[in-house]
Amino acid sequence: MTSNSEQLTAIRKRAEKWLDPLYDEQTNAEVKAMLDNDDPTELTDAFYKNLEFGTGGLRGVMGTGSNRMNKYTVGSATQGLANYINKEFSHLSERKVVIGHDCRNNSRYFAETVAQIFSANNITAYLFEDLRPTPEISFAIRHLKCQSGVIITASHNPKEYNGFKAYWDDGAQIIAPHDKNIIDEVANIESVSKIKFEGNKKLIKILGNEIDKLFIKEITNISLNKKIIENQKNLKIVFSPIHGTTVNIVPSALQEYGFNNIINIPEQDIVDGNFPTVISPNPEDPEALKMAIKKAEESNADMVAACDPDGDRLGIAVKNEKGEFILLNGNQTALLLTWYMITQWKKQGYIKGEEFVVKTIVTSEIIKTIADNNSIECFDSYTGFKWIASIIRELEGEKKYICGGEESYGFLPGDYVRDKDAVGSICMMAEIAAWAKDHGKTVYELLKDIYIEYGFSYEHMVSIVRKGKSGAEEINAMMDKFRNNPPKEVAGSTITVIKDFDKLEEINLLTGKKEKLNKPAPSNVLQFFTKDGSKISARPSGTEPKIKFYFEVKGELKERIEFNSSVAKAKNKIDAIIKDMKIE
């Protein structure tokens, strides 16, 4: 076992390399200060490892060091990606990429650095003039027929973070075999001398609002009921970009869509990477929508919508039976969007027998019920939108994609991009609110009606954080326990089916029959299905020191008035499952 002194010696050696004149003077000075400090805490945190380029790119705290987001770690990632693009597309006379960024501190600087490096490697770099949402980067890659793209964003992480997210030629995040190949190329950048920082100005092209207009036009094309929107054009919609990239584009898209009454929150329209009005810029967090809901109450609005800083996740709040605004969870938003799009496609005569929807394996099974009952194929993908995009790509030209979503507040209502899109999803949610109002009901009442027709379920997620090496070992031990000694019964209901995605195996415990799971690769996920229709999923995070447990329990709902009691019963059942599985 390596001693603490040996670890610190290795850390100091890694840091001393950053005193090389190849690094800028400020970096040299900051590293020297860390090395000279008697307290090794900052040095250790900054240099105890290299910030790893994973399957989605980079994400980390900004600052000096090998384990930080800075010019050199971003530069290494970009150079590795550029090397792979030049190898993979060597047959093309011109290779092109799109580069975008969010509102975070240093995002513009990192984006310009990325553009310089791509251009230095003889790759045309289309750089947006200012911040843009992630889905628009995906759109631009497809529209400009580029081979790759990058957006500088850390999504909904705290303000200290930034990230580098890479895309491929279909506008989707990178998957096998390209992800592993790019990781290898990045790993080969062993010295900063291998990074070409001096760009070629002739190969850097600035993108402006011409792409915005085309992107918004594609979003308006997904509308399914123009008459309803005309009837309800004055629907009151409160919108917050939470200081991020959608500050202009969501209101513009809603107006082009046909809605005239968009109400903003001036304090949250200020683009600011410090996110001064929220604790966390995450629409999954009720606190993040607090100001928007207050504004909606004051203005008697019909709907509240908000985006995370890079505009790919959406949070929605609607009125309950008491007229109070409540947040929809990600499953409920996906459920409403899927139900509406399928039923409208059917009504418009778009269904030809080759249509499909996609959800992730941890997302509500009611979505599959809706699809099945309407003769639409429903595919289950792994968690992460790149897997939904992979299915769209695989079936392109054979089947027609309607929509797809995941419980983590991401949805794509159409195939105009290949990543989750809060801009288009908010427009479609506004159309749903208009449809509901035109039919004399609220969105909340509509949600209850869908449960009454297709079956009721309630979902809950528990996230357990275990930091450090011992934490990782504890998480592995949890998965080993459930894999090797699975529960036989939870909350009074027998476990009937186990899906082990690491072994790609499904076991029917009633018959003993084993089947192979048709998935692109193994993944460390376990699922348990009970006789009464409950689903429990266990999934360690690939990027954070945590394990997530997803619960979905079925119940009965015959009338709207029973909704609250059905929710209460479902919560009690989930509590019983957690207790029986000893999850804490």
Of 266, 293, 321, the one marking the end of a domain is 321
Average pLDDT, stretch 128-153? Answer: 98
Q: Given a cut of 60, is residue 1 above it in pLDDT?
A: no
Average pLDDT, stretch 44-71? Answer: 91
The domain in which residue 106 lies consists of: 49-207
| Domain CATH code at residue 120 | 3.40.120.10
Catalytic position from the list 138, 155, 390, 523: 155
Whole-model pTM: value is 0.96
Number of domains in the chain: 4
Statement to judge: residues 432 and 492 lie in one domain? no
Mean pLDDT of the chain: 96
Of 421, 439, 454, the one marking the end of a domain is 454
Of 174, 207, 240, the one marking the end of a domain is 207
Q: Given a cut of 90, is residue 350 above it in pLDDT?
A: yes
Statement to judge: residues 85 and 164 lie in one domain? yes
pLDDT band for position 2 (cuts 50, 70, 90): low
Statement to judge: residues 59 and 182 lie in one domain? yes
pLDDT per residue over 532-575, tens digit each?
A: 999 999 999 866 678 999 999 999 999 999 999 999 999 999 99
pLDDT per residue over 206-236, tens digit each?
A: 999 999 999 999 999 999 999 999 999 999 9
| Domain CATH code at residue 501 | 3.30.310
Average pLDDT, stretch 8-28? Answer: 95
Statement to judge: residues 465 and 575 lie in one domain? yes
* pLDDT value of residue 3: 64
pLDDT per residue over 146-195, tens digit each?
A: 999 999 999 988 999 999 999 999 999 999 999 999 999 999 999 999 99
Q: Amino acid identity, residue 123? A: I
* pLDDT value of residue 56: 78
Residue 315 lies in a domain: yes
Statement to judge: residues 471 and 421 lie in one domain? no
Residue 25 lies in a domain: no
Average pLDDT, stretch 356-382? Answer: 98
Statement to judge: residues 295 and 350 lie in one domain? no
Statement to judge: residues 384 and 518 lie in one domain? no
C-alpha dist (Å) from residue 171 to 144, 218, 258, 288, 390: 10, 15, 28, 29, 11
Q: What angle do CA 18, 68, 187 make, to 5 degrees?
A: 75
DSSP assignment letter at 99: E
Q: Given a cut of 60, is residue 287 above it in pLDDT?
A: yes
102 closest CA partner among 17, 46, 159: 159
pLDDT per residue over 240-274, tens digit each?
A: 999 999 999 999 999 999 999 999 999 999 999 99
Taking a C-beta distance cutoff of 8 angstroms, is the pair 172, 393 a contact?
A: yes
What 3-state DSSP class applies to 326?
Answer: strand
* pLDDT value of residue 440: 97
Burial class from Cβ neighbours inside 10 Å (0-12, 13-18, 19+) for residue 349 reads: exposed
Residue 244 lies in a domain: yes
Residue 8 lies in a domain: no
What percent of the chain has pLDDT above 70? 99
pLDDT band for position 106 (cuts 50, 70, 90): very high
Residue 42 lies in a domain: no
Q: Given a cut of 70, is residue 487 above it in pLDDT?
A: yes
Tokens of 237: 């919609």
Q: Given a cut of 90, is residue 490 above it in pLDDT?
A: yes
244 phi and psi angles, rounded to 5 deg: -110, -155
Buried b (16+ CB within 10 A) or exposed e, 258-294: bbebbbbbeebbebbbebebbebbbbbbeebbebbbe
Catalytic residue flag (residue 155): yes
Residue 17 lies in a domain: no
Residue 236 lies in a domain: yes
Residue 43 lies in a domain: no
**Sign of the alpha-carbon torsion through 570, 571, 572, 573:** positive
Average pLDDT, stretch 11-16? Answer: 95
pLDDT band for position 473 (cuts 50, 70, 90): confident
